[in-house]
Amino acid sequence: MTQKERYAFVLNYFETHSPNAETELIYDNPYQLLVAVILSAQCTDKRVNMTTPAIFERYPDVYALSKATFDDLFPLIRSISYPNNKTKHLIGMANMVVEEFNGKIPATVAELVKLPGVGRKTANVITSVIHHQPNMAVDTHVFRVAARIGLTHNAKTPLQTELQLIKNIPKDKIHIAHHWLILHGRYICVARSPKCEECGLRPACKYYAKLVKAQ
């Protein structure tokens, strides 16, 4: 199977079986999604979704969050990983959005990465989910799944993985392909014991082909 055929098979499979894939983070607007994504770094979406309602009730918009103090916000995210840094990042992010972007969440990667707590991955999530821009956020799931299937070759960093994926996935599918790969990694192609017997991508998967040959 050629690389082009592999991509075609994988994309067709996901389009057929998960046509409406989307983020599992719960949000109502760009502000809420940005807060949730910042909190989600090295933390489960489930835990974030348990935490954000209290934050959004107390700080319903970026203006309210910009006025938060560390001591007021920290208790609301104490259960999240790295709560000290994330508390500082959220307050810093809100202040910058208010002061430099007139209270509106930026809509480009270049602007978003200027915000405290926002790296390239987070910026790619915001722009792809909210605006359907052709940006690919690469987390551990995307990195692992893309390599196992064979969508990427010798990609050593998230950026290398991102560049290979966006080169081979049609622009109009990149924003949803991000969700396809994350959810596949979260529930099927898990890190320690991938559920190959349940996976419909076996005909195109290099990892599975090696398993078969090894038997």
Active-site amino acid positions: 121, 139
- Cβ neighbours for 108, distance < 8 A, ≥ 6 positions apart: 127
For 169, residues 6+ apart whose C-beta sits below 8 A from its C-beta are 7, 11, 136, 177
DSSP string, 142-208: HHHHHHHHTSSSS--SHHHHHHHHHHHS-HHHHHHHHHHHHHHHHHTS-SSS--GGG-TTGGG-HHH
